[in-house]
Structure 1
Amino acid sequence: MRASLLSRHRLLSIELVLGGILLAVMLGGVLLSGWLFPDGGEAMDLRARLLPPFVNAAHPLGTDPLGRDVLARVSTGGWISFSVGFWSVVGGAALGTLAGLVAGYYRGIAETLLMRFADVQLALPFILLAITFAAVVGSSVSLLIVLMIVSQWVQYARVVRGSVLSLREREFIQASRAFGLPDARILFVHVLPNAFSPVLVLMTLNVANNILLESSLTFLGLGVDPLVPSWGGMLADGRTYMQTAWWITVFPGLAIMMTVLGLNLVGDWLRDNLDPTSKLP
């Protein structure tokens, strides 16, 4: 039994280390992109167009059809993917957590209205919302973030509501009510910290999911403006050159894969360590 527990903890540590390394590499490249590539990957050199990777020191990952450096565009394009993934998750988590706290703590009409609205939200296909918004308003980074927040807050609301339903009857919550503490203090000081662990895990996993979602929507022309460098946009630009210039799509695809893998590994490690049932023999 002891040996199995030790091997399990080693596996969890390997997940954390490997995920942390992948995230550090990708985040480091993105954060340093402004210093390493001041032109933002937009400098064109038609004489060096479609250079293959690893043959020119000035363009280690090759160039695209306009002679733009692929490494510079992958590094710069990560800003969009990380920004969309991070801010959409923060916004969705904040909105959903607040709704879940109110619904689980007050019950009654508040819970009914919020949960029925959540059911309606779940019935709306995300791709339909994306097409409608893109057709009516247009595509932009901020619009994409708002669209993801609107479509994903329900996940956090349901998770938090389930936790609050069990916490509201616990002795320390009953004691707080008996002492006459205001509801806001009880919710944000006593209830929220005890219900936040599953939210944190869900946020980590959803960042990875939203990065994939942004890349997919941009690839389909429903996401970020094509003039803005992004991983999804690079995949879309390079799909017609797959047989003659594979590197245009392969390297942004690898960047997406490494980022999502790193986030999923860290998210799995958090889930296994924050979930009390995972520690049972």
Structure 2
Amino acid sequence: MAAAQAVPSSRRRFRSMEFVIGLLFAGTMTLAVLFSGFLFPDGGESMDLMARLVPPFTDPAHILGTDPLGRDVLARVVVGGRISLMVGVLSVLGAVVVGTLVGLVAGYYRGVAEVFLMRFADVQLALPFILLAIMFLAILGTGIDKIIFFMIVAQWVQYARLVRGSVLALRDREFILSARAIGVGNGRIIFHHILPNVLGPIVILMTLNVATNILLESSLTFLGLGVDPLIPSWGGMLADGRTYLQSAWWVSVFPGLAIMVTVLGLNLLGDWLRDLLDPLGQTNK
């Protein structure tokens, strides 16, 4: 009996630790980015060629050191997070709207609509992401708006398949059949009865996909397919510092740490949400 009680208790503590650490990591980075305009009014663009490549923790004016142009690394890391978080959040919101609508229609109405939409989704899933990104951005050009649009196009399929599966499990439940029997319209059934019951998995996937999209944006920018190099971003800082890894490691290491901390925090929050909203599907920890 004591052992049986100890296991759930330890799981609750672990889930709580996931929440605390995830909120600490992701929340700290998010707050720093949101208030970056007050913390660093110059936007991390002030240059001091007399203070080029100052090592970290040696100058109180530049706690994390400076880059090859004498710009403060801490300021650029905080300011650069605005691009990564904006791309991650906006692209996920767009993919959620498109994918959820497609999944609701395909799962509820079935028939030709389901076959057409899901086969189109299968074709898109078969396309390699990196090659698709290179082709897409090479044709339309680079830029924040184009990266967000591409991520929406590339990721709506995940939400469509998730929502469709959930709708298929719900459409023949008693409360849906009762709503139909009393004459409730399809639109009201979909948005007032089915959609609230599929929001849990959607929220979990959103949290995890924001972290994924931050990595994707940084990767594309590192490859030169992302945002303008003149705009501070984590991927751009990694690309700028790769030639200084031996002589000035901090130029790349601290943006990399910012990416790692943010993504780790979001993944931990996603795991905590999964256990909270889907207790039947939680894993042993």
Q: How does 1:153-168 map to 2 (within 5 A)?
A: 153-168=156-171
Residue 123 of structure 2 is aligned with which of 120, 125, 128?
Answer: 120
CA distance, structure 2, for counterparts of residue 120 and residue 24 of structure 1: 37
TM-score normalised per structure 2: 0.96
Partner amino acid, structure 2, of 1:235: L
Q: How does 1:75-154 map to 2 (within 5 A)?
A: 75-154=78-157
1:257 aligned partner: 260
Residue 40 of structure 1 is aligned with which of 35, 38, 43?
Answer: 43
CA distance, structure 2, for counterparts of residue 237 and residue 207 of structure 1: 24
How many pairs were matched up? 281
How far did residue 280 of structure 1 move? Answer: 10
1:196 aligned partner: 199
1:184 aligned partner: 187
Q: Secondary structure at the match of 1:73?
A: helix
1:239 aligned partner: 242
How far did residue 133 of structure 1 move? Answer: 2.2
Pairwise CA RMSD: 1.2
CA distance, structure 1, for counterparts of residue 90 and residue 15 of structure 2: 27
How far did residue 134 of structure 1 move? Answer: 2.1
Partner amino acid, structure 2, of 1:16: F
CA distance, structure 1, for counterparts of residue 283 and residue 161 of structure 2: 25
**% of aligned pairs identical?**
67
Residue 61 of structure 1 is aligned with which of 64, 69, 72?
Answer: 64
**Ranges in structure 1 where 5+ consecutive residues have no aligned partner:** none
Residue 279 to residue 123, structure 1, CA distance change in 2 (3 Å): closer
**Ranges in structure 2 where 5+ consecutive residues have no aligned partner:** none
- Provide, for residues 171-219 of structure 1, a one-character-per-residue CA deviation record: whole Å limited to 9, x for no partner: 1001111111111111011001111111111110000010011101100
CA distance, structure 2, for counterparts of residue 33 and residue 133 of structure 1: 32
How far did residue 279 of structure 1 move? Answer: 6.6
Partner amino acid, structure 2, of 1:84: V
How far did residue 57 of structure 1 move? Answer: 1.1
1:16 aligned partner: 19
Partner amino acid, structure 2, of 1:87: L
Please say if residues 274 and 282 of structure 2, whose CA atoms lie closer than 8 Å, have aligned partners that are also in contact: no
Partner amino acid, structure 2, of 1:237: D
Residue 267 of structure 1 is aligned with which of 267, 270, 285?
Answer: 270
- Provide, for residues 223-245 of structure 1, a one-character-per-residue CA deviation record: whole Å limited to 9, x for no partner: 11111100000000000000000
Residue 113 to residue 43, structure 1, CA distance change in 2 (3 Å): same
How far did residue 125 of structure 1 move? Answer: 1.5
Partner amino acid, structure 1, of 2:109: Y
1:218 aligned partner: 221
Q: Secondary structure at the match of 1:245?
A: coil
Partner amino acid, structure 2, of 1:177: R
Q: Secondary structure at the match of 1:51?
A: coil
